[in-house]
Every structure is written in structure tokens, then in C-alpha cells.
Chain A
Amino acid sequence: MELKHYIIRRFLLLIPTLIGVTLLIFAVIQLFSPVERAALYIRDPRQARDLPGIIKKYHLDEPVYVQYYYWLREVLRGNLGYSKSVNMPVLDAILNFFPATIELVLYSAPLIVLLGIKLGVLAAIHKDRAVDHLTRISSIIGWSLPSFWLGILLLAMFYGQLGIFPPERLGTEASVYVNSPNFIRYTKINTIDALLNGQLWIFIDALKHLVLPVTSLTIQIVALIVRIMRSSMLEALNKGYVLAARAKGLEERDVIYKHARKNALIPVFTVTGILLAGMLTGVIITETVFNYKGIGYWAAHAATQLDIPAVLGFALLAGVIFVLTNLIVDILYAYIDPRVRLG
């Protein structure tokens, strides 16, 4: 079928999947007591005093499916409850903390993808030689390192001893300036805003603070990508069309990159879905270790404080993001591999 039809079909599938996500979150909600559940509906701590009123208003004493309806309605209206750990409604907290995480992902993702693919291809082409062994060992090590430990080690070395790359998002001076009326926050992404405001020193400061978390995040996930890229490339190199391409007299470079790699990238695309999961998981730990105030930090902090609406709001957000990115990946996949379009 046409690519267009495939895209439309995938989009239609999106709705039941998203509903499934909400159902699961709702199921988790049911594990809490009614009083705790009530916290999910208030936007303001003062409302908490009127507990019976809340229960009545959101039908918390009625059967499960009724509750689901009212809960979903509130969610779609943007009411995800109140996050006591940061003293603001959950939705506001998300909007507040998300840009920081986006900034982190913005710098990590391209690095991960490019490095991962490049190293994986290299390891496959030079199989069983030095490059291959080195890459594989580094990848296994990267995969076995506890993420928080890596972060701590990096902090100890580059901050504790060398003092060049500090934690958190900005230094004190830059922080103050950024929050002052002189600085217009267009995107809340510090590096971009700094450039837009023409404040180069803030841009550099933000970059310095980003180095460690980005490195930490990259190392873990690259390890995974390299391994998968390598095995998929090895498989592709063994295929008949590679032999046929060589028999046609093509340059080895064309054989590898045009034929083998193109096919090898296919499973890597599906792995990108896992990449996203890795990111969403990785930011929780990485942001916590570096005190980098993004949504990962907020979620982890909230969990320790038993701030239920925050944790659930984060889970819901993560689920939705994941589903959407998988959709995009699937469409890209269909764009590259025409066999998939047959449905």
C-alpha cells in the first residue's frame, strides 16, 4: 500500500494505544486509597480541606468506570492534580521542568545516534580486529555501568577535582541574570535563550553545565546502540545482495554504505524506540545525580516525597511521549523499507 495509507492507518491505531496508556495509569491509581486519589483532582492545596466535596464532585465513590470517565475528563482538561513537592499544579510543573530536559535530550540524542551508528558499522566492518574488540568491550562496560555511579564518578573527577564542569543548570551569576527582567525566556532552553538574548557568556555557562549530564546519558545509551548496530550490520554484510553488489564491481565503500548499512539501519530504527525509553529513564537518574532540574529530577524528587499526582503525571507523560515517538519511528521505518507498507 501507499505510504500515505500506512501513515493514516498508524495514526488511527494511535487512539486505542493512548487509551490503553491511560487505562494502565488509572489501574495504578486504583492502588491508592480514596483520600490519596482525591489529591489527583485538586489544583490548589486549599481545596484539600474540602475532602467530601471533592469526592462528590469527581464521583470517587462510584463504580470504577464512572471514575475513569471523570478522571479522563479532568486529564484532558489539563487538571492532573497538585504536586506538593514543588508547590504547583502538576501541569504547571511539567511545563516548567520540561524545557530543561528537552535541552539535555537535544544535545545527547544526535551524539548518541551518530556515534552509535558509526561505531557499530566500524566494529562490524573490522570484525574480530582491534577496533571491533575495543568497541565491543567499551559497549559492554557502558551497558554495565550503573547510570548513577557513572554520573558520580564524572562529578568527582571533573567537578570535584578539576572544577571545570559543574552540576545543575547554571552558575549562580548566570542564574540570577536569567531570572531577572533583563532576560527574555523564549523557550526556557538556556542555550537557545542565551543566544537569542545575545548573552554569550550565559550560553557558555549553560554549555559547561550540560557537559557532564550529556556525557553521562550518552555513554549509557550509545553502548546499547553500538551493540545492536554491529549485529545488524554483520547480518547485512552476509546477505546475498552484498555479494551481488561486489560481483557488480562496485567500490567497497558503496557496498558497505549503500547496500549493507542501509539495510542494517532498519532494526536500528526500531531500537530508537528503545533509545527513547532509555532517555526517559536515563534522565530520571542523570538529572537527580547532577541536580539538573528537569522533569526527571522532579519525578524522582516527587517519588521520594510520595507526591503521588506528580509521579503519576510523569508516568502518563512518559507513556504518551513514548507512544508518539514510536509512531514517528514506525512511519520512518515504512518510509525506508518498502516491504513494510504492505501492512
Chain B
Amino acid sequence: MRKILEVQDLLLRFYTYEGVVKALEGVNLHMIEGESLGVVGETGCGKTMTGLSILSLTPSPGRIEGGRIFFQSDEGWVDILSLDEETVRRIRGREISMIFQEPNAALNPLLTVEEQISEVLIQHRREEFIKKVLNAIEEDLQKTERKALSRAFIYKIEKKIYENMLKNPKSLLVRVFSKTPILRRYQNRLRKEVRREVVRILKEIKIPDPERVVDMYPHELSGGMQQRVVIAMALACNPKLLISDEPTTNLDVTVEAQILNLIKELKSKFGSSILYITHDMGVVAEICDRVAVMYAGSVCEIADVFEIFRNPLHPYTKALLESIPRPGKKFKSIEGTVPNLVNPPPGCRFHPRCPKAMPICAKVKPDMVNIDGHFVACHLYRKGRK
């Protein structure tokens, strides 16, 4: 089983009025094909930024200043951060896609469901659909009788346009036709093919009555449905890696359960790898194979999900697990507050709140060590100790 993603020493800084926010300070993690990796941590620890960095979509004034993000794309094992924009665009939506926290915000209120999903399809699977259209045109041509010359003529023109679209999408013929009002109707064939696929995808995502939903606007759908549409958009091109950024945080528990089941199903059916960002350990326990725990801009611990719960090594992970409220147990929270990322504590960023802090923790940032597949970044476990 090979790696599909490897993030090495990712460094992200935001240059703001209040100072330089050191958002990500040496993030290290990796993913194997077909697994789902949960990324957990408190709000502000950098989980979302890590996800956005993988897609090279960090908002300004943020700047990635160091590190590499390797991905197993169709073109081989590449460093996403070193690619030019056009190449990255080909990866986005097709090989790696992302689901956002607020489905409402991710959907354009002025476009129907069909329009938004077909966008992705046309962008990345164009040729496939054009070929289908050409086949359909051929069939139609065969079926027309000798006498229906005008219809045959129209088909021949359509065939010409679509062949052109295939070979040279920016050709004059295509451009003229797509801008002129009546001539634009040639696009109907493509729309039909794409629409069929959209409906099929919606069915896969278990959206009821897809034929109707396809023509609806986002505000006409419930939160759960909207999120399903967002998932449909993300999966439309069968991506290798799906980044989900807290997709169920804004939904009711029952809807959340449905969505989680859906994601589990899709994972087993399509074999996609999932990077699941969340702050909810319960969700992690349910659907993740491995877990990465983040704190204040770097990864503390990565391990198999059972391992993490049974044998958490990093003090932060331990504290996190202990703070999960359980009936009968006294409520325990972690002392102190999340550090200010403009002036983070030196050395290990957790040391001011760590019950096991040692003098070295305030000076040197711990490297990540591998203990039989269980990764920890903590001086308690550094080489030579334990």
C-alpha cells in the first residue's frame, strides 16, 4: 500500500496588522491510499489551514513559507507547492476535492444544483461527455430518413462543433457559437448528457427525488440536503483524496449520523482516501482509520484510531481524551488557554499547559519520532529516552 499524501514541515504565516501569525509551524503527516485520516484539534490549531494548503488555496495575507506537500497524482509523486497554477487547477476538483464546513456558504445562491455540479463535470470530464454526445449525434444521424435533409443538416453542424470542441476548444467556431443566443442551443446536447450524470450522482448520494432537486436552488434545500449536494460536487470526478473540513458541525445530530454513514459507504465503494478534519473525537472514533492530533500549528501525534484511544502518548492527546464529557465522570478541562499565534511559546507550544513539562520543552521544539507506526512529537519520547 503506497502513500497518497505526505506533508513535510509545512510552514504557513499570516502577515496582519496585529503582527505575523505563525499559523502552521512544521506540520508533518502522511496518508496511505484508501484510508481515512482524522485531523483533530481545538479551534484555531490550524486544521483548516492544513487542508487548504494541500489544495494550495490558503487565503491572503497568508503565505506558505516552507515545507512540501507530496501527492500521488496521475503525473506521479509531485510536490503540490512547487506546481504552477494551471497544473494545480487540474488537480483541484478532480484528484483532490474539498468539502467545507458551511454548505450554505459553499453553494452559489444564484445557481441551481445542476449548474453547480455540472460545472465540475464539464471542467474535468469534458472529453468523456463530448464523446458521448458525438455518439448520440451519430445515432441520430443514422436514424434520420433520407428525406429529412434539414434535420440531418443540423446534426451535421452539431457534429462539426463537437468535434471542434474536442480537438480545439478555443477555436473560433466554438467561440462564436457559444456566444450567439440562438446558436447556443447546440449546448443542449451536452447539458443533457451531463445532467444525466448529475442525477446519477445525486442518486448515489442518496438524495431523494433527484430529478426535482437538480433544478432547485440552494436556499430551497435543507441543511442536510445542501451538504449532500456539496458532497456530490466533491465526488463528481471520483477524486483520490477527499478533504472534509468539519462537514457535520453545523448539522443536527441525526443528519450528522446520515452524512457520516454516507461518507463511510462512499469510502468503501470508491476507495477514496479521506482527510477528515474535526474537533469531535466521537466522529473520529466512528469513521477514521488513523488520527492526527494537532495543537497550535503543528502535529503532536499520529496513530491508529484504536491505539490513540487506548494508548495516547502525547500529553495533549491524553488531556483531550480526558476532557470528553462522560456520564458519571467529573468534568475535566485542560488548564490554560490556546496560545496567541503571533507570539507563540518557544520550544514546544504546549509546554505552558503540559503537566509533564521539562526544561527542554521550553527551548527546543520536539521532532516527530516513529514508535512502531505510532508517531509522537514530544520530548518524553525522543530518541534515547523511553
Chain A interface residues toward B at CB < 8 A: 239-241, 243-251, 254, 258-259, 262-263, 336-339, 342
CA distance A249 to B102 in the complex (A): 19
Question: Are B92 and A248 neighbours in the complex by a CB distance under 8 Å?
Answer: yes
Q: What are the residues of chain A within 8 A of B93 when measuring CB–CB?
A: 247-250
Q: What are the residues of chain A within 8 A of B89 when measuring CB–CB?
A: 249-251
Contact partner, A248, options B102, B105, B110, B123, Cβ 8 Å = B123
Q: What are the residues of chain B within 8 A of A339 when measuring CB–CB?
A: 109, 217, 219
Question: Are A248 and B233 neighbours in the complex by a CB distance under 8 Å?
Answer: yes
Q: What are the residues of chain A within 8 A of B92 when measuring CB–CB?
A: 246-249
Question: Are B124 and A241 neighbours in the complex by a CB distance under 8 Å?
Answer: no
CA distance A262 to B116 in the complex (A): 14
Question: Are B109 and A240 neighbours in the complex by a CB distance under 8 Å?
Answer: no
Question: Are B108 and A241 neighbours in the complex by a CB distance under 8 Å?
Answer: yes
Question: Are B119 and A338 neighbours in the complex by a CB distance under 8 Å?
Answer: no
Q: Cβ of B151 < 8 Å from any Cβ of A? A: no
What's the tally of chain B residues with a CB closer than 8 Å to chain A?
28
Closest to A244 in B: B106
Q: Cβ of B37 < 8 Å from any Cβ of A? A: no
Contact partner, A246, options B57, B105, B107, Cβ 8 Å = B57
Question: Are A243 and B108 neighbours in the complex by a CB distance under 8 Å?
Answer: no
Tell me the minimal C-beta distance from A125 to chain B in angstroms.
13
Question: Are A249 and B110 neighbours in the complex by a CB distance under 8 Å?
Answer: no
Q: What are the residues of chain A within 8 A of B124 when measuring CB–CB?
A: 249
**Given A248-B123, A338-B219, A263 and B100 contact (CB-CB distance below 8 Å):** no
Closest to A336 in B: B110
CA distance A246 to B96 in the complex (A): 12
Q: What are the residues of chain A within 8 A of B98 when measuring CB–CB?
A: 244, 247
CA distance A317 to B52 in the complex (A): 56
CA distance A342 to B92 in the complex (A): 35
Question: Are B94 and A240 neighbours in the complex by a CB distance under 8 Å?
Answer: no
Ordered by A's residue number, 28 sampled pairs between the chains whose C-beta atoms are within 8 Å are: A240-B100, A240-B102, A240-B104, A240-B105, A241-B105, A241-B107, A241-B108, A241-B109, A243-B106, A244-B98, A244-B233, A245-B108, A245-B119, A246-B92, A248-B92, A248-B97, A249-B89, A249-B91, A249-B92, A249-B93, A250-B120, A250-B123, A258-B119, A259-B108, A262-B110, A263-B109, A337-B109, A338-B109
Q: Cβ of B55 < 8 Å from any Cβ of A? A: yes
Q: Which of B57, B59, B106, B107 has the most CB of A within 10 A?
A: B106
Residue-wise interface mask of B (106-133) relative to A, using a CB-CB cutoff of 8 A (1 in contact, 0 not): 1111100000000110011000000000
Question: Are B108 and A263 neighbours in the complex by a CB distance under 8 Å?
Answer: yes
Question: Are B100 and A243 neighbours in the complex by a CB distance under 8 Å?
Answer: yes
Q: What are the residues of chain A within 8 A of B110 when measuring CB–CB?
A: 262-263, 336-338
**Given A248-B93, A248-B123, A241 and B106 contact (CB-CB distance below 8 Å):** yes
Rank and list the top 10 A-B pairs by shortest CB-CB distance, nearest first: A240-B105, A249-B93, A249-B92, A244-B106, A248-B93, A241-B108, A247-B98, A338-B217, A248-B120, A249-B89
Closest to A339 in B: B219
**Given A247-B57, A248-B120, A240 and B90 contact (CB-CB distance below 8 Å):** no
CA distance A241 to B97 in the complex (A): 14
Tell me the minimal C-beta distance from A287 to chain B in angstroms.
36
Closest to B94 in A: A249
Residue-wise interface mask of B (230-256) relative to A, using a CB-CB cutoff of 8 A (1 in contact, 0 not): 100100000000000000000000000
CA distance A338 to B112 in the complex (A): 10
CA distance A244 to B110 in the complex (A): 14
Contact partner, A239, options B57, B105, B120, Cβ 8 Å = B105
